[in-house]
Structure 1
Amino acid sequence: MALPVVLLLHCLRRLPFGVNFQMGTVDPAAPPFPWWGPAYIVGLSVLTEALALLTMGLVSSWGEVFPRWVPFLGGRRVPPLAAVIPATLGGLGLVALWDPMPRAWFGLLGFHEAAFTNGWWKLLARVCVSPVMLWGPIVLALTYAYYKRRRPV
């Protein structure tokens, strides 16, 4: 599954912000960089990739049967709703989080994008962020396929 690879570009673009390199963004009202900023940004990138890897359970055997190494649950079937409900809520949350991005690009409905020092930085940001907008719809599509495959007949 390619979802972790699709999100990797966004995660890698985020890392320079952890050392206070602004990647061409201009925000004169930005607060000073906090001491915990690097750990937060690296943690956010790791969490993003971990959640992307977790969605692989919707198309893998370990999404149907708990792996043997899982305490108390190893070898048992995964109840379908135990995967469908969190995946649906997560997919809807991702759509709400990322899909307004094009509105910010065009300044629609009060959304605004960060200012950049030049067009190349803006292009890089858009290229890196654009695939992330597919994350929510992909999770929802995988969840629907998982539900159809696992639903009781």
Structure 2
Amino acid sequence: MSIQASDSTVGSAAAPPRWAVCAARLTTWVVLPSGLWRIALVLGYPAGYTEAGFESFQTIGAKAWMLTLSVLCELAAFLTIGLVRPWGEVTPHWIPLIGGRTVRPVAAVVPAALGAATLTALWAATPWWWTFPHEDMTPTGNLVVGILYQPMFLWGPLLAAVTFSYHRRHRTPRHRPGAPE
């Protein structure tokens, strides 16, 4: 049996509101600047660090970590789009073992809500980047890195908003006493 869906709805769930679709897409963009900065470090560009500060980024382990972190952050941000797309409601057929199955809303909402809370707490201090000492960075580098990391502050709240929208569209209707059946 083939499950076909439009971009807006699957099954009985309402279409996601336009703001939720925009917020989901925006998550991939807020993560991108910091990832590109880390990739510049991997490629050997000091990207704002002093010569002494940049040395620790030249090991294979540091480069592997920065590249892995950049890719994982972008993939995690991309998962937010699943909360407004059909593949967030029915898993794609090409995924082994679970392909074609309906996604239980709790399986999407709980991890997304935990992720939103974690990301919000993790990046909460980002707007105050410039108040922290950065002796291993040049003054221009400190400014550039601060600017590139500022969008990360939005990741958790954007994910929370999209998660709330997904939850509202997929919650089970409750019977109200006295309501007609």
TM-score (norm 2): 0.72
CA shift for structure 1 position 17: 2.2
Contact conserved, 1:25 with 1:114, CA < 8 A, in 2?
no
CA shift for structure 1 position 35: 2.8
Contact conserved, 1:27 with 1:114, CA < 8 A, in 2?
no
Tell me what 1:24 maps to: 48
Equivalent residue for 1:142, pick from 162, 171, 174: 162
Is 1:80 equivalent to 2:105 in the alignment?
yes
Amino acid at match of 2:60: W
Equivalent residue for 2:138, pick from 117, 122, 127: 117
Over aligned residues, Cα RMSD in angstroms? Answer: 2.2
CA shift for structure 1 position 50: 0.7
Q: 1:101 to 1:113 in 2, by over 3 A?
A: farther
What 5-or-longer segments of structure 1 have no aligned partner?
Answer: 107-111
Mapped to 2, the partners of 1:102 and 1:40 lie a distance apart of 24
Mapped to 1, the partners of 2:114 and 2:51 lie a distance apart of 33
Work out which of the two has the higher radius of gyration on C-alpha atoms and give 1 or 2: 2
Percentage of identical aligned residues? 37
Is 1:64 equivalent to 2:89 in the alignment?
yes
Contact conserved, 2:105 with 2:170, CA < 8 A, in 1?
yes
Contact conserved, 1:16 with 1:23, CA < 8 A, in 2?
yes
Equivalent residue for 2:117, pick from 88, 92, 99: 92
Question: C-alpha offsets along residues 5-38 of structure 1, whole Å, 9 cap, x if unaligned?
Answer: 2321111011122245432235968884433121
Mapped to 2, the partners of 1:29 and 1:47 lie a distance apart of 25
Tell me what 2:62 maps to: 37
